[in-house]
Structure 1
Amino acid sequence: MANAACSGGDAGIALTLEEERMPNGIKNGIPRRRQICLAVAVIGATAAATACGSSSSVKSTGAAASTAVSIGTNADPAAFGYDPAALSGGGETTFWQGLYSSLFTTTSVGAVEPQLATSYTFNADKTVLTLQLRQGVKFTDGTTLTSTLVKQNLDRRSDPTLGAYGMFAAGGTAAIVSVAAPSPSTVVITFAKSQASAPSLLADDAGRIVGGKAIANPKSLMTQPDGSGPYTLSASGTVKGSSYTLAKNTSAWDASSFPYSRVVFKVLQDSQTMANALVSGQVQVAQLDPSVISFVKSKDSVVEFAGTIYASPLFDKLGKTSEPFASVKVRQALSMAVNRAAIAKLHPGAVATASFFPPGTQGYDSNLDTTYAYNPAKAKRLLAEAGYPHGFSFSVITVGPQMDTDLQALQQDWQAIDVHMTIQHATSYAEGLQAQSTTPIGYNDFTIGRDPLGFVNAFLLGGTFNPQHATDAQITSALQVAESEGGNSDTAALKSLDDAVVNEGWMFTFYAQPAEIGYDSSQVQVPKSSGASVFPLLSSVAPAGA
């Protein structure tokens, strides 16, 4: 997640006061603006990366750059401690990749593969998943990976503060009925209903396992991590909230997959400073705000990660923080009142869309752009039918001013139908995260990626975007059909799910735009994403030519 060099867009989470992520995590969908903006600075043997300066700085050569790398983030990845289940899916996911291994992982080609698990099988109706675990995996506390430890981790699913587990809790969309450990290396997970995408749901953040001592004393994770990943936290190189130094754990089971002996995560901010840091050579990889793309392209390379939408997730489905949001007609009215084409024009390369699944991804339904075309007159009629002929008011809370351009456009459109949104700025990132349970909607960018069903299960229904654990018959039915048919390959089923999400107003999408990652090709390889995140895989951050 993450002051010196980060994308302005990345700093701007928006949550509403009457919104967005608490430590209740996001897995892959991730809000790019509020997710961590990544800037990678290669630290040479003779000179460490300095504070980000102006674009006129002399570009470093990056000699002897293979020993350490520094990653800039626009928010504190350990704001709520070091429990990977507490805060997930944002830029902190790259941070967690260094400290923790997961039961499954999403690769750079979007495939879900076993990680701490080595193999898995389903029963006939896919309600029972049996895992075989990797042997000899050690945690930083000295304990060993066993089926009992995995069970103890997953048995924390009833804890409402662990957002990555929200979908697994009783009543969740992927509720786990029981976890058994019939042998030291075998885990049997029984779900309340068929879960063909269970490996995907247990991949990355939701599948990260903490060590035995952390299970015995969970409060210890507030001050130190306890994982089996390729790195350990260096206390001497860490200043909480400012920088985090990870030292290579050469005895880790997957240590060879990570090329650097040291990784430093620096908490940074501001889109132009981030761009300046990249072009001056102080960082070698950076997630960029669209406003600085042209500047960076004139001096460095840029790679696009597709599948990103800019949207408002609905947090308050029940009208507890703002009564009008309990009405589907009110949600549809808000969607129809937005001039998406005008907002998209504010962002070079953006495409206006109302579809939850963005253009170019499985399930994209262009018909939704017609259904929710700009029509303030119809929006006002829907408000009247819902019992709000004179509109209503609510507030949105955002971290930093970077989201204001879009929010002000929405504010103007909604004011035209007598819906008044007040834009407030959180005094801290933590305050912004904590606004999730007290606000009706959020605003940010989210990457649907190659696993739309996983996104829906993990975030829209089961995690951060659904703190009330609300249900919706149309969405649930469409999801069940998609999961029982061809999963992420069934375009027709995914379109039906897309329609249900949008028609029920659980996500207000306004435009789609690729996430752009700037990098110095003379220093590092092209960064890779899992396709389900706008953040590079930590293992893909490697010296050029390696």
Structure 2
Amino acid sequence: MSQHHPRRRARGSRRRVASALIAAVVGATGLAACGGSASSGAGSDGTLTIALPLKPQSLDPGKNGNGGQNIVQWLSYEPLIRLNSDGSLSPGLATEWGYVGEGNKAFEMKIRTDAEFADGTPVTAESVAATINHYIANPGPLSHFMTGVESAKATDEQTVAVTLNAPNPILPVVFSQSSNWGNVISPAGLADPSKLTTETHGAGAYVLDTAQTVDGDHYTFVPNDNYWNPDAIHWEKVVVRVLPDANAALQALKSGQIQVDMNSQGDIVSQARKAGGVDIAEGPGFVQALFLMDRAGELTEALGDVRVRRALNHAVDRKAIAAALGGDFTPTAQIAPVGTDGHDEALDETYAYDPDLARELLAEAGYADGFEIDALSMSLFQTDTLAQAVASQLEEVGVTVRLKSIGADLNQLIADMATKEYAAVFFNAGTNMFTNALQNFASPASPLNPFASKGEEVIGAFEAMAAAPEEEVPAAAVALNRAVVEQAWFVPLVQTPAYAFARGIGSFGDVGNAGALDVLSWTPAS
């Protein structure tokens, strides 16, 4: 395990681990060196106000999902490792980390000795190991990223050893804030986990002010007097507001009601560009797709035939859908977005729009008269609009899609997928290829893979990437993406960059892979 320095590791060959999850914005915090104690901010009272498109699934880091909603943890829980917007990794509570031996099956971290939880309790190797073991014993929406992780143990006062029973090459990201599992919980929080849903028990820069918080509407954070790096605290107060309407959020930004808009969708970016004084951060985004979850035909027999899945891909007019959505949407036939390690431009030519070929493939598979699919959709990111367009196009080749929209309730979406009563779901895919796979089709623990997909071509390519030496990872990532496209496990449709809008913020920075943002680097504009 080599010495780690801020902003150095993860460039070049280590950049492959700078990935996170699906859709929206995944934030990262930097070791900001400017400022000192909390200073006056964009508001007269030194308040930073941030808009989210949906409420967090939970204040408990182990029960929350990914994307912008877990900014409540980014503010209040210090991660072991920080994923930065430039793709690098830097120290959080861990000052050094790395794999031990070969095969990505053993991992060690050195824990800093100058950190305390918000309640004043010292952060120790024992508390870090206890947190990891708590997450293992209490699965949550993102447990699939812990694939292979068996246990954690403090081997001395500073060292935590993580044991795996299967290769997992992305543990630096797993133990970052982007996957939640790097968020270390205090002994008091672990002693009574029920408190984690209403209070924060971390070692982060801020703590939740429960008296100024209304769940589902707004969450208020104040500085943590025990934070190990006080130079990173720039605000007297941080308020996270839930504003589901993207246009309303942009208007709130323009009028000064908020300073950061994380409900910054591709269809309104042109409006933001026209607005004076709005800073726009952009980065690798996400792919919107029809996830054919029932790939073995357990519920909908037709989907077990690759000819049928390929027919569905030929039946959609991606260019027309992208044009109808407007904004910065572009057509794509792969689930790896531009800017990620699995992306291969040639794969976008795999499925030309050809309804006649789609009908021929369906007839060859024995479905000349078509079939029906029960599918889920949601209101965020114009997904319902997208789903209706796809359903109309599939109807033209004889395939009927019965849609159910869950609105903006991700908990309901997860619950509905778990019933295995829906063969498909319209959702987002993104990030570098290994995390993309774990999230979307390779892990039976993922909510997006309720049918526990199997298939020698795809799973074999996934396993090859899991154990690949670092220098072979780029080729393995493309090979995995190619296998997914050839087996047509998805109907990819359109992609858009990730965006975040700001006004009155200094050091706003860029959007990194999977939407990473350097939240603790944000300062009041001078």
TM range (shorter): 0.7 to 0.9
Residues 469, 267 of structure 1: alpha-carbon distance in 2 compared, 3 angstrom cutoff: same
Match of 1:511 in 2: 494
Q: Secondary structure at the match of 1:330?
A: helix
Aligned partner of 2:412: which letter? E
Q: Is the 8 A contact 2:116 2:122 kept in 1?
A: yes
Deviation at 1:374, TM superposition (A): 1.5
Deviation at 1:379, TM superposition (A): 2.6
Q: Does 1:443 align with 2:418?
A: no
Cα deviations across residues 52-108 of structure 1 (Å, max 9, x unaligned)?
xxxxxxxxx97665821111112111x4x3221222222123221001122222112
How far, CA to CA, are the matches of 1:62 and 1:102 in structure 2?
25
Residues 519, 207 of structure 1: alpha-carbon distance in 2 compared, 3 angstrom cutoff: same
Aligned partner of 1:541: which letter? W
Residues 178, 293 of structure 1: alpha-carbon distance in 2 compared, 3 angstrom cutoff: closer
Deviates more, 1:128-137 or 1:485-494: 485-494
495, 511, 518: which one pairs with 1:537? Answer: 518
How far, CA to CA, are the matches of 2:43 and 2:64 in structure 1?
34
Give the aligned length: 483
Residues 427, 412 of structure 1: alpha-carbon distance in 2 compared, 3 angstrom cutoff: closer
Q: Is the 8 A contact 2:22 2:436 kept in 1?
A: no
Residues 89, 64 of structure 1: alpha-carbon distance in 2 compared, 3 angstrom cutoff: closer
Match of 2:13 in 1: none
Q: Could you tell me which runs of 5 or more consecutive residues in structure 2 were left unpaired when the two chains were aligned.
A: 1-18, 28-39
Q: Does 1:294 align with 2:274?
A: no
Residues 316, 209 of structure 1: alpha-carbon distance in 2 compared, 3 angstrom cutoff: farther
Q: Secondary structure at the match of 1:188?
A: strand
Match of 1:22 in 2: none
How far, CA to CA, are the matches of 2:127 and 2:295 in structure 1?
35
How far, CA to CA, are the matches of 2:428 and 2:42 in structure 1?
36
Deviation at 1:233, TM superposition (A): 0.8
Deviation at 1:109, TM superposition (A): 0.8
Aligned partner of 1:417: which letter? V
Q: Does 1:130 align with 2:91?
A: no
Match of 1:162 in 2: 140
Q: Is the 8 A contact 1:344 1:351 kept in 2?
A: yes
| TM alignment of 1:78-97, pairs within 5 A | 79=57, 81-97=58-74
Q: Does 1:239 align with 2:230?
A: no
Q: Is the 8 A contact 1:258 1:538 kept in 2?
A: no
Match of 2:285 in 1: 307
386, 393, 401: which one pairs with 1:406? Answer: 386
306, 315, 320: which one pairs with 1:342? Answer: 320
Residues 194, 432 of structure 1: alpha-carbon distance in 2 compared, 3 angstrom cutoff: closer
Deviates more, 1:100-109 or 1:326-335: 326-335
Q: Is the 8 A contact 2:378 2:426 kept in 1?
A: no
Deviation at 1:263, TM superposition (A): 0.6
Aligned partner of 2:332: which letter? T
Aligned partner of 1:253: which letter? W
TM-score, length of structure 2 as denominator length: 0.83
How far, CA to CA, are the matches of 2:511 and 2:447 in structure 1?
20
Deviation at 1:543, TM superposition (A): 1.6
Percent of aligned positions that are identical? 26
| TM alignment of 1:324-473, pairs within 5 A | 324-346=302-324, 347-400=326-379, 402-426=382-406, 429=409, 430-438=411-419, 439-448=422-431, 451-458=432-439, 460-462=441-443, 463-473=446-456
TM-score, length of structure 1 as denominator length: 0.80
Deviation at 1:517, TM superposition (A): 2.5
Q: Does 1:283 align with 2:275?
A: no
Match of 2:458 in 1: 475
Q: Does 1:502 align with 2:485?
A: yes
Q: Is the 8 A contact 1:311 1:443 kept in 2?
A: yes
How far, CA to CA, are the matches of 1:540 and 1:220 in structure 2?
29
Q: Secondary structure at the match of 2:387?
A: helix
Residues 253, 268 of structure 1: alpha-carbon distance in 2 compared, 3 angstrom cutoff: same
Deviation at 1:264, TM superposition (A): 0.6
Residues 179, 328 of structure 1: alpha-carbon distance in 2 compared, 3 angstrom cutoff: farther
Aligned partner of 1:123: which letter? V
Which structure has more relative contact order (CA 8 Å, sep 6+)? It is 1
Match of 2:7 in 1: none
How far, CA to CA, are the matches of 1:184 and 1:324 in structure 2?
57
Aligned partner of 1:240: which letter? D
Residues 328, 136 of structure 1: alpha-carbon distance in 2 compared, 3 angstrom cutoff: farther
Match of 2:15 in 1: none
| TM alignment of 1:2-21, pairs within 5 A | none
Match of 2:128 in 1: 150
Deviation at 1:237, TM superposition (A): 0.5
How far, CA to CA, are the matches of 2:287 and 2:132 in structure 1?
31
Q: Is the 8 A contact 2:212 2:220 kept in 1?
A: yes
| TM alignment of 1:104-253, pairs within 5 A | 104-125=81-102, 126-157=104-135, 161-168=139-146, 174-204=147-177, 205-253=180-228
Aligned partner of 1:371: which letter? T
Aligned partner of 1:456: which letter? A
Q: Secondary structure at the match of 1:518?
A: strand
Q: Is the 8 A contact 2:376 2:426 kept in 1?
A: no
Q: Is the 8 A contact 1:362 1:488 kept in 2?
A: no
Q: Secondary structure at the match of 2:116?
A: coil
Q: Is the 8 A contact 1:94 1:537 kept in 2?
A: no
Residues 507, 218 of structure 1: alpha-carbon distance in 2 compared, 3 angstrom cutoff: farther
